Amino acid sequence: MSYELYYWPGIQGRGEFVRLALEEAGANYIDMAREPNAEATLIAFLERTDITHPSFAPPFLKDGHVLVGQTAAILLYLGDRHGLAPKDPTRRLWVHQIQLTIADLVGEAHDTHHPLGSDLYYEKQKPEASRRAKWFREERIQKYFDWFETILARNPDGDSYLVGDTLSYADLSLFQVVEGLLYAFPKKAKALLAESPRVSALREMVAQRPRIRAYLESDRRVKFNEQGIFRHYPELDR
């Protein structure tokens, strides 16, 4: 039976973190965002009244009778089933904690272009976005990168992975968030990445994994664009 991944069509968004895990696992899945009438299908699913545990918003993953929402929860579910999380419960919780911190970073990146709310177009909040982006560039990105560098440096099993000596979904998610920051803030992100050798090495390692590389080079990988979470507005990357 195939997984069904539901997300908005035309953007990577939070669904991309799940796609990377599914691709690395070689899992059989249907990306419903790439199917005909994707948005209508998604909305119809969200409006169903026969679901006991409805998701608040996409992404959500359907596995037979199991429905899991929230990116971190989906990855926790997939990690246990596809060898993308440690078996040790303490380490498994640590991977989950890292993922939740990555989710915080993703939220902050989004708020640089929509600091007043998603109900307003970017053009309606440009002054506020400029101030928010300046703080994010000058303070927050480096703080997150420093934390990831620290985690890698303190890993008892070596600095190749965030946790243990094998790849976890947290490594895949760190790769994705770095890619997003390089797209949205190329000047600042490149400079900080040059000062973060372990994060940089992890990014390169993930990109060269056979299944991930094949996915990145395929037309199934939606390109970053100005409708997603990571958006490149030159005036915000000064």
Mean pLDDT, consecutive 10-residue segments, the chain of 238 residues? 95 97 98 96 95 94 96 98 97 98 98 94 95 96 98 98 98 98 97 97 98 97 96 94
User: What local confidence, expressed as pLDDT, does residue 157 receive?
Assistant: 97
Q: Find residue 127's DSSP bridge partners.
A: none
User: What local confidence, expressed as pLDDT, does residue 238 receive?
Assistant: 85
User: What local confidence, expressed as pLDDT, does residue 93 receive?
Assistant: 98
CB neighbours of residue 56 within 10 Å = 8
The answer to whether 67 and 61 have CB atoms below 8 angstroms apart is: yes
pTM (2 d.p.): 0.96
User: What local confidence, expressed as pLDDT, does residue 1 receive?
Assistant: 77
How far is the CA of 65 from the CAs of 40, 44, 61, 68, in angstroms? 21, 17, 10, 10
User: What local confidence, expressed as pLDDT, does residue 128 receive?
Assistant: 96
